[in-house]
Structure 1
Amino acid sequence: MTLFRVERTVSPAPDEVWRRLTDWPAHGRQVPLTRTRVLTPGPNRAGTRFTARTGIGALSFDDPMEVVVWEPPGAGSDRSGVCRLEKSGRVVRGWALVEVTEMPDGGSRVVWTEELSVRGLPRAFDPVLGWAGRALFGRAVDGLLREG
Structure 2
Amino acid sequence: MRLEVVQDVAAPRARVWDVLTTWERQPDWMLDAKAVEVLTPAREGVGVTLRCPTNLLGVTVQDVMRVTGWEAPGYLEVTHLGSIITGTGAFVLTPLGEDVTRVTWWEQIDPPLGRLGEWGASTLVLPVLRRIFGRSLARLAALAESDPPGADAAAR
Please state which band the TM-score falls in when normalised by the shorter chain: 0.7 to 0.9
How far, CA to CA, are the matches of 2:72 and 2:109 in structure 1?
A: 24
Counterpart Cα distance in 2 of 1:109 and 1:32: 22
Match of 1:139 among 135, 138, 149: 135
Question: Cα deviation per residue 1:6-28 (whole Å; 9 max; x = unaligned)?
Answer: 10111100000111122222222
Task: Say if 1:93 and 1:118, in contact at 8 Å, map to a contact too.
Answer: yes
| Residue pairs, 1:1-148, within 5 angstroms | 2-29=1-28, 30-32=30-32, 34-55=34-55, 60-73=60-73, 81-104=74-97, 106-120=99-113, 122-125=117-120, 126-147=122-143, 148=147
Hey, which bits of structure 1, 4+ residues long, moved more than 6 A?
Answer: none
Shift in CA distance, 132/23, structure 1 to aligned 2, threshold 3 Å: farther
Q: What letter is aligned with 2:128? A: A
1:21–1:141 CA contact under 8 A, matched in 2: no
Of stretches 22-31 and 109-118 in structure 1, the one that deviates more from structure 2 is 22-31
Cα distance in structure 1, aligned partners of 2:52 and 2:111: 15
Counterpart CA distance in 2 for 1:113 and 1:106 is 23
- Distance in 1 between the 2:105 and 2:33 partners? 21
In 2 relative to 1, CA 105–43 (structure 1 residues): closer, same or farther, beyond 3 Å? closer
Q: What percentage of aligned pairs have identical amino acids? A: 24
Question: Quick one: which amino acid aligns to residue 90 of structure 2?
Answer: L
Give unmatched runs, 5+ long, in structure 1. Answer: 74-80
1:78 maps to none
| Counterpart Cα distance in 2 of 1:144 and 1:104 | 18
TM-score by length of 1: 0.81
Compute the displacement of 1:33 (Å): 6.4
Displacement of 1:45 in angstroms is 1.0
Deviation at 1:106, TM superposition (A): 3.6
Q: In the alignment, is the contact (CA less than 8 A) between 1:63 and 1:87 conserved in 2?
A: yes
- Gap runs ≥5 in structure 2: 148-156
Count of residue pairs the alignment pairs up: 137
Partner letter of residue 109 of structure 1?
R
Write 1 or 2 for the structure with the bigger share of helix: 2
